[in-house]
Amino acid sequence: MQTQSENRCYGGTQGVYSHSSEATGTEMTFGLYLPPDAADGPVPLLWFLSGLTCTHENAMTKAGAQALASEAGIAVCFPDTSPRGDDVADDDAFDLGKGAGFYVNATEEPWHPHYQMWDYVAEELPALLAKEFPIDPDRQAISGHSMGGHGALTLAMGLPGRFRSVSAFAPICNPTESDWGTKQFGAYLGPDRLSWAKHDATMMMRETGLDAPLLIDTGTDDQFADLLKTEALAHAIAERRQEAQIRLQKGYDHSYFFISTFMPDHVAFHAEALWS
């Protein structure tokens, strides 16, 4: 692991680090905010998974999480959204390839050699953080935006017992029924739609549910509302009687202005679960 930068931030440290990933076969970069409390011992960890076209940097610089995390005494990790490099397969469209890993393990060519983002976020990166930083692996929470909200929901349901709380900002809720999903799953996972089900939050909610409290915020003026399929997940949550809040925020869109507005609510939600 190499340190790309470390900056003093709200009494803690905002770092950017890179390492050689076995999962993706590439050099991967991530951001990690450590609060002042980390100087005294391991702290809880909140994951923030970003959306389409993003890198580790977008939420790290725009979401306004550090001041809140400093006060709450929790670390925040900002992983990248896909493998990077000249030999990594890509596509001309913004919603496939680099910046659009969808947090799945690709089985199809040309994506399979590098696009193993589930293994990277679920296994490799958590192990690295626990080894290199004062992180408490038994106290984790997860959040994300858009494609990253999809990732947060599916990772939480696919890894029962891992996360004490789950939240999402405008998540892609039913990708097997959306153009933000059918295109990517077909490319990464192949034509067998049965293999897609374990990466669809609505289908997973119906099948297994979630063993942690859930908070979702989506704007009523979200320009991608038809692609998010929020109502499908809401129905599945109601049918399962899942502990959850889905809040439709009047006038808000899909941007980081929306995320930063409600980030205080989400950090407080996670802090309560992480410190209980």
Round to whole Å and give the CA distance between 49 and 81: 7
Round to whole Å and give the CA distance between 15 and 83: 20
Q: From the candidates 199, 254, 266, 270, which is the catalytic residue?
A: 254
Cis peptide bond upstream of 110, omega within 30: yes
- Cα 56 → chain centroid: 11
Round to whole Å and give the CA distance between 270 and 69: 10
Q: From the candidates 21, 70, 82, 146, which is the catalytic residue?
A: 146
Question: What's the angle, vertex CA 136, arms to CA 135 and CA 138, rounded to 5?
Answer: 145
Round to whole Å and give the CA distance between 189 and 38: 39
Q: From the candidates 37, 200, 217, 222, which is the catalytic residue?
A: 222
Tokens representing 30 are 């991530």
80 given a catalytic annotation? no
Tell me which residue of 148, 2, 29, 128 sits closest to 85, measured CA to CA: 29
50 given a catalytic annotation? no
Quickly tell me which residue has 């933000």 as its tokens. 180
Asked whether 106 and 186 are in contact (CB, 8 A), the reply is no
18 given a catalytic annotation? no
Question: What's the angle, vertex CA 55, arms to CA 136 and CA 260, rounded to 5?
Answer: 75
The residues annotated with a catalytic role in the active site are 146, 222, 254
